[in-house]
Amino acid sequence: MSLETEYDPDNIFAKIIRGDMPCVKVLETDKILAFMDVFPQSEGHCLVIHKQSQAVNFLDVEPEALSELTAATQEVARAVHYGLNPDGIRIMQFSGARAGQTVFHLHIHVLPVYEGVVVAAHASGKPADAESLEPIAAKIRAALA
């Protein structure tokens, strides 16, 4: 998919926003949803999306939505830091298929990094189940409180 791809209202994140698909939520407001990545690259890997914007990537997002998304990403990253105590945190955004984007709804990855633990490849491996993600999400939610 190119950088000029039209928004698909049936993408997986749009389905999650509508409640048609499940997710393990970390944070939800009227505009923002943060949830555990089902293909986690490390323990605590979260995704942050804007619920109202239909931006496909970083290049077409509205400035106000980007500001809200960035502020929420910082809030989630802080909660990951305090809730999970990683040695570092990567904040990543992929725009376009060639860059590694696999879901064409703008999203930002919050990826904790732990010393001595290899970070898995992006969008690889088997999906995690909600039961294994929930205890990790609970620690992040507690740090948000």
* pLDDT confidence band for 122 (50 / 70 / 90): confident
Sequence-distant (≥ 6) Cβ neighbours of residue 37 within 8 angstroms:
45, 46, 47, 109
Residues designated catalytic = 107
In whole angstroms, what is the distance from residue 34 CA to residue 51 CA?
Answer: 10
Tell me how crowded residue 3 is: count the other CB atoms within 10 A of its CB. 15
In whole angstroms, what is the distance from residue 40 CA to residue 50 CA?
Answer: 20
Q: What is the pLDDT at residue 145?
A: 87
Q: Over the stretch 22-39, which tens digit does the pLDDT of each residue have?
A: 999 999 999 999 999 999
Give the residue with greater pLDDT, 105 vs 122: 105
Residue 2, pLDDT > 80, answer no
Q: What is the pLDDT at residue 1?
A: 59
Residue 95, pLDDT > 90, answer yes
Q: What is the pLDDT at residue 4?
A: 86
Residue 49, pLDDT > 70, answer yes
- For the chain, domains (ranges, CATH) are 12-144 (3.30.428.10)
